[in-house]
Chains A and B, each alone.
Chain A
Amino acid sequence: MTLRPPYLTARRLAATTAVLAALLLLSIAGAMLVGPVRASVWRALTDAESTDHVILFRTRLPRVLLGAVVGGSLGASGAALQALLANPLACPHLLGISGGAAVGGVVALIAGAEAISFVVPLAAFAGALFAIGVVYLCARAGGRSTPYALLLVGVVFNVLASAAIMLINVIASYSQAHGVLFWLMGSLSGQSWQLIAAAAAYALAGLAWLAAHAQDLNLLATGEEGAAQLGVDVERARRAIFVAASLLVGAAVSVSGMISFVGLIVPHLIRLVLGADHRLLLPASFLGGAAFLVWADALARTALAPAELPVGVVTALLGGPFFLFLLRRELARAAS
């Protein structure tokens, strides 16, 4: 790419992050105006009792903000996991964490919890924590956890999780099973302000944790042995990054279900345009993932209005073909 200078400076980091943050704010404001019914901003701002106020600030704003938080978490953790696994096409749902969260959430739903209560996210998060522990311990041998082992254990764990979900679904009643399916496909609606605030603080803390390892991620992306001999304590860095990224993914799935392709495509695109340095890539993937999911959810609200699509369906339908396109390009380049 000739768009960028050959290395990252503090100034370019600050300037690019500021521009992306501004774009995200515009996206949040813009997406708030999108929905199946028109609402007047003026009336919403001047009259706190108006329907317009309720639609814009009590229904849409929390949902848009949650979309930003979830998209950001998925984008940043995707970028980190791709470097951790030294594989630019890795996806945050690969490591089994999402599977664990899904099982936790589904169990809570079947046990009778409301999809919009805080019980489901908590149960899902417990499932994610369980999965993080199991995957890490299973992948560890001789004090090391290689990317290959993490990936393999993660894939197996995901298969087990989806089998468990199918099993639960077979046992459950028809209406419960339908609710489970809808939750799994991802939804950003109906969460409380408290939960959104907690998720936002949590996501920013996770981002900061990952960003503290940005240089380690740069070196790890060029290979494990290279990283070690350039000064990275590989095992320690890898554990910290795996835990931080997994906690972000687990929380994202817990509050919104399985939203695929954000964590895969956003970091990939950002790397193409802005380069691979994780000091920029991590915050940029966070902001980019946030904006992407905010707009994907706006589409989910309106595409089949008044019916609503699960946002995970939108990201998959947008992301899947695009991913195939990227993959084809990659393959063509490798073959030439």
Chain B
Amino acid sequence: MSALLEAERLRFAYGPRPVLDDVSFAIGPGELVGVIGPNGAGKTTLVRLLAGVLAPASGSIRLAERPLSEYRRRDVARRLAVVPQDAHVDFPFTALEVVLMGRAAHLPPLGFPRARDLAVARAAMQRLEVAHLEDRALDRVSGGERQRVLLARALAQEPDLLLLDEPTTHLDLRHQAGIHEVLGELSRSRGTAVLSVLHDLNLAAMYCDRLILLAAGRVLRVGTPSQVLTAEALGAAYRTQVYVGPNDATGSLVVLPLVRRRG
């Protein structure tokens, strides 16, 4: 299987201290990969490197077998979509206008959306249950609604690879599961690969094919959820005791922090 995205020996630093050190992995078509790790581990930085927003100090990123740095931005945008950790929009674009922006790289520079672009955008909004927000200004919707609109914009790009930075932080229980159902469905029907930064290890256990555990800028473990989610590896990464046990409802694992009670 040829890799869709390959990261090799990535190193990066904002200042003198390395933030990512010797990070390597590959993602194949249709794979759902979760990136987990404590605050400040370098997860968002990794997403920004893979999105081409930051350039690695050393190491290489290859998208569809070609170095990412050789692409024009428009060509990247047709293959790869990103949903950032926190995005707010101060201008009164409607939700549909924002989702249609996902089509920009598929249209000529000043082109108006064609019937197909509208259909793609509206289908994405339907999938994420934000179709009813179509004519609402994006600076007047709730945090979770905005997050789902931005996810719909990424889907409207029809990418081969989706990079998501904590896509479920603002979402309620039902939509947390719902988004992962949508992602799984996309992976099966279109072969879309997903790399998703997740703090909820139970969601990670349930929906990801593979997990990358980052701690202090290094890859601590890569593998299937049952290989990565062990009490020992998580304990080392998060520096706290955790309980890992079977999830009887889904057959995956449950992870719980063990808070030592005093007295």
Residues in A neighbouring B153, C-beta threshold 8 A: 230
Cβ of B97 and Cβ of A230 under 8 Å apart? no
Tell me whether A276 and B87 are in contact (CB under 8 A): no
Q: Which of A18-60 contact B (CB under 8 A)?
A: none
B93-A230 in contact (CB<8A): no
Q: Is the CB of A222 within 8 A of B91?
A: yes
A151 to chain B, nearest CB (A): 15
Contact of B97 among A6, A211, A229 (CB under 8 A): A6
* Cα-based distance from A87 to B82 in the complex (angstroms): 23
- Complex Cα–Cα for A10 and B113 (A): 9
B209: shortest Cβ distance to chain A, in Å? 24
* With A2-B135, A233-B72: A225-B84 Cβ-Cβ less than 8 Å: yes
The CA-CA distance from A194 to B177 in the complex, in Å, is 67
Which residues of A, 60-113, contact B by the 8 Å Cβ criterion?
Answer: 83, 86-88
Is the CB of A275 closer than 8 A to any CB of chain B? yes
Supposing A7-B96, A231-B104, A233-B72 touch, asked if A212 and B91 sit within 8 A by C-beta, the answer is: no
The answer on a CB contact under 8 Å between A229 and B91 is no
Specify which chain B residues have a CB less than 8 angstroms from the CB of A87 in the assembled complex: 90
B109/A230 in contact, CB under 8 A: no
Distance in angstroms from B141 CB to nearest chain A CB is 13
Q: How far is the CA of A234 from the CA of B72 in the complex (A)?
A: 11
* Number of chain A residues close to chain B: CB under 8 A: 37
List A164-189 residues whose CB lies under 8 Å from chain B.
none
Q: State whether the Cβ of A321 lies closer than 8 Å to any Cβ in chain B.
A: no
List A residues 215-233 near B (Cβ within 8 Å): 215, 218-219, 221-223, 225-226, 228-233
| A contact patch SS | loop
Q: Does B245 contact A (CB under 8 A)?
A: no
* B97 adjacent to A7 (CB under 8 Å): yes
Interface residues in B76-96 (C-beta closer than 8 Å to A): 76-78, 80-82, 84, 87-96
Distance between B113 CB and nearest chain A CB, rounded to angstroms: 7
Is B91 within 8 A of A231, CB to CB? no
Which has the most chain B C-beta neighbours within 10 Å: A83, A219, A228? A228
A226-B90 contact in complex given A6-B97, A215-B110, A219-B101, C-beta closer than 8 Å: no
Q: Which residues of B contact A219 (CB under 8 A)?
A: 101, 104
CB distance from A2 to the nearest CB of B (A): 7
A residues in contact with B19, CB < 8 Å: none
CB-CB nearest in chain B for A225: B53
Partner of B76, one of A86, A229, A277, A279: A229
A223–B87 touching, CB < 8 Å = yes
Q: Is the CB of B89 within 8 A of A230?
A: no
Q: How far is the CA of A232 from the CA of B76 in the complex (A)?
A: 10
Answer yes or no: B98 CB below 8 A from chain A CBs.
Answer: yes
Closest to B84 in A: A225
Inter-chain contact A6/B96, CB cutoff 8 Å = yes
User: Are the CB atoms of A6 and B73 closer together than 8 Å?
Assistant: no
Is B51 an interface position by the 8 A CB rule?
yes
The minimal Cβ–Cβ distance linking A5 to chain B, given in whole angstroms, is 7
* A214 CB-CB contact with B under 8 Å: yes
Chain B's closest residue to A2 (CB) is B135
- Complex Cα distance, B238 from A67, in Å, reads 65
Assembled-state Cα–Cα distance A212/B73 (Å): 18
Q: How far is the CA of A64 from the CA of B97 in the complex (A)?
A: 37
Chain A residues with Cβ under 8 A from B171's Cβ? none
Which of these, A4, A9, A211, A215, contacts B104 with CB under 8 Å? A215
4 closest A-B pairs by beta carbon, nearest first, are: A231-B77, A231-B105, A6-B135, A231-B74
Task: Provide a sorted-by-A list of 28 A–B residue pairs whose CB atoms are within 8 angstroms.
Answer: A5-B135, A6-B135, A7-B94, A7-B113, A8-B112, A83-B91, A212-B110, A214-B110, A215-B104, A215-B109, A219-B104, A221-B91, A221-B93, A222-B87, A222-B91, A226-B84, A228-B51, A228-B52, A228-B53, A230-B157, A231-B73, A231-B104, A232-B73, A232-B104, A272-B92, A275-B93, A275-B97, A277-B93
Besides A1-B137, A6-B95, A276-B97, 5 other A-B contacts (C-beta < 8 A): A7-B118, A219-B104, A228-B53, A231-B76, A233-B72
Footprint of B on A, CB under 8 Å? 1-2, 4-10, 83, 86-88, 211-212, 214-215, 218-219, 221-223, 225-226, 228-234, 271-272, 275-277, 279
